Structure 1
Amino acid sequence: MTQQFSLPTPTRYFMTASGTEGHSKLNAFDNALLAAKIGNLNLLRVSSILPPGCLFVPNLKIPEGSLVPVAYGSIISDIPGKIISAAMAIGFAKKDTYGVIMEYTGECGAEEAERTITEMVEKAFFIRQMDLKDIKTVAVEHQIVKIGCAFAAIPMWY
């Protein structure tokens, strides 16, 4: 007999981004999670769909240790002086349906990352033949001192 496992569909989300340094690449990533206020959660990486009716709650509190669906992008570098960025965006349709999430990371500034992620959402809606109503974005840039990470995410909760 096969046992099925299913998580409930998230009903709330927030957007977050951070850029940090660390002693190692893993520490830089962990520090970015902590700065983004999701460092004490167990992240379940998901792809690109925000559930229908999911509400934006900017100061959403999620219990520590929880298994949390999250769409995210991160970039790590150990080249001093290099600028890195991470960005997330959600596109919302004119009709009441799901949202489309896109992520972007690169060796660029936050402004370029935000411009790129916006274009990605627009193309995703075009491919889906959906009418785009609105886009929410979050982006961060970080200039590397020794080892740094730029991280952006959309955590979702119940």
Structure 2
Amino acid sequence: MKIAIVSGNDEGPTELNAFDNALTKAGIGDVNLIKVSSMLAGNAKVEKLPELKAGSMVNCVLSTVTSKNKGDEITAVVAVAIGKELGCVVETTGINQSKEDIKNEAIFMVKYMMEKRNVEIEDLIVEEASHTVEKVGSVVASVVYLNDDIIK
């Protein structure tokens, strides 16, 4: 299994436009995202996001938060734990919370998921996107499941 871990942040005139702009900055704005739960095959390989075919149906774990309150500090995080047998992904968000606290929460949750499955973590990756809202802001962090059908 191959995955890419991406993030983006941006502003827009509306909440939807801000979200779309953040997706575009993350490299996943021109595809249809299908939110999936948080399991990976064993020994998943993390790759740089390739160029995706526009309009493709793309499976992902997606963490996102949008705000229209000027000055809000918004953060989206994904944490990925990879083991030999399987891997887990968690997503979490925060508004006006410490980025470190949000990251630590994600790390705690993904470690717990692996521990409950008795799987040793071989690799742990955390990706976050943060943004201070000017008018309408959005952040996204995502684990994108890659396959040949979606790659340009």
Gaps of 5+ in 2: 148-152
TM-score normalised to structure 2 length: 0.89
Instruction: After superposition, give the CA deviation of every residue in 1:24-73 in whole Å (9 maximum; x if it has no partner).
Output: 11111101110100000111110101123432111422211111101011
Q: 1:105 aligns with which of 72, 90, 93?
A: 93
1:87 aligns with 2:77: yes
% identity of equivalent residues: 27
5+ long unaligned stretches in structure 1: 1-10
1:17 CA displacement: 0.9
Alignment partner, residue 153 of structure 1: 142
- Provide the alpha-carbon RMSD of the alignment: 1.4
| More moved, 64-73 vs 126-135 | 126-135
Which aligned pairs between 1:3-152 and structure 2 lie closer than 5 A? 11-93=1-83, 96-107=84-95, 108-152=97-141
Distance 2:144 2:120 in 1: 25
Q: Using the alignment, how far apart are the partners of 2:27 and 2:62 within structure 1? A: 13
> Taking structure 1 as the reference length, what is the TM-score of the superposition?
0.86
One-letter amino acid of the counterpart of residue 144, structure 1: V
Kindly provide the amino acid, as one letter, of the partner of residue 7 in structure 2.
A
Corresponding residue pairs, total: 146
1:115 is aligned with what amino acid?
A: N
Structure 1 runs of 4+ aligned residues shifted over 3 Å read: none
**Residues 44 and 82 of structure 2 are in contact (CA less than 8 Å); yes or no, is this contact kept in structure 1?**
no
The separation in 2 between residues aligned to 1:46 and 1:65, in whole angstroms, is 18
